[in-house]
Amino acid sequence: MDHLEFRLLGSIDACVGGRRLEIGPRKRRYVLAALLLDLNRPVPVERLIDAVWEGDPPDSARMTVQGHVYRLRRSLHGVRLESDASGYALLADPEIVDAVRFRRLVAEAARRDDGPGADLLDEALALWRGPALGDSGGGKSLAVAAVELEEARLAAVEELARRRLRLGQPERVVGPLRAVVTAEPHQERLVSLLMTSFYRLGRQAEALELYERTRRELADQLGVDPGPELRATFESLLACQA
């Protein structure tokens, strides 16, 4: 029997056997995401409203949320969506939510040596399909949750890179690091790790070019110079060339 899976590490989706279920309009997806972020715990209607609307909600917000919950209850099989005086609770095995699996794998990796830990981090990062919560335009609580998930992803990429470099495997982190640095060019620790990976692969020119490009972007966009760690990496690579 195919299992139900909820996805938050990218667009907000529900899938059965890899087949995407039709959930409905964006606001219903925001309600679902808010319930999944507090899986197995009651979520007050006010918090669901805050997840759906940015700014002041309409007078019909409570009724609209109740309607979305009603339709989710009818369309999602294999989970229970219960209500009581404190709000609504989506009840299910946490492992069917990709964000829960991601955090579990990252936590497990932290308890392992470099090799097994790096493999677990690879598995965790493979769950990501795009920006957390689909880079949605929901309300404040979803925006905060998306930022927290993205920060956890960047931390996992950084930890993976440090482990692979300690294992002498720079070729296994160039791809993930380059993808993140392209999207987040001001993440100096990740830039530093990518420069180190390039250097260890004999690609010194790319390492130095990356530093210069980052230095220009920091100056032009933020009006700052590279921080101590990034400068130290640059100076270390120059010293090795001398």
Residue 46, C-beta contacts closer than 8 angstroms, at least 6 positions apart: none
Whether 156 and 212 map to the same domain: the answer is: no
CATH number at 183 reads: 1.25.40.10
Number of domains in the chain: 2
Domain stop point among 138, 166, 194: 166
Tokens 């932290």 belong to residue: 110
Whether 147 and 233 map to the same domain: the answer is: no
Parent domain of 201 = 168-242
Within 13 A of 112's CA, how many CA atoms are on the CB side? Answer: 17
Whether 87 and 182 map to the same domain: the answer is: no
- Grouping H, G, I as helix, E, B as strand and the rest as coil, residue 20 is strand
241: exposed, middle or buried (Cβ count in 10 Å: 0-12, 13-18, 19+): exposed
Q: For the chain, what's the residue count?
A: 242
User: What's the pLDDT at 1?
Assistant: 45
User: What's the pLDDT at 136?
Assistant: 64
177: exposed, middle or buried (Cβ count in 10 Å: 0-12, 13-18, 19+): buried
pTM: 0.91
Whether 122 and 44 map to the same domain: the answer is: yes
User: What's the pLDDT at 47?
Assistant: 92
Whether 65 and 30 map to the same domain: the answer is: yes
Whether 17 and 111 map to the same domain: the answer is: yes
CA distance between the termini of the chain: 63
Whether 186 and 224 map to the same domain: the answer is: yes
Whether 175 and 155 map to the same domain: the answer is: no
Whether 117 and 58 map to the same domain: the answer is: yes
Whether 125 and 173 map to the same domain: the answer is: no
Domain stop point among 166, 195, 228: 166
Q: Which is it for the CA torsion 164, 170, 172, 175, positive or negative? A: positive
Packing angle, helices 204-217 and 228-241, rounded to 10: 150
Provide the β-strand partners of residue 5.
15
Please give the Cα distance from 55 to 28 (Å, whole number).
18
Domain stop point among 110, 133, 166: 166
CATH number at 120 reads: 1.10.10.10
Residue type for 236, please? S
Whether 157 and 99 map to the same domain: the answer is: yes
Please give the Cα distance from 236 to 217 (Å, whole number).
21
Positions of the chain with pLDDT lower than 70, given as ranges: 1-2, 135-136, 241-242
Whether 157 and 175 map to the same domain: the answer is: no
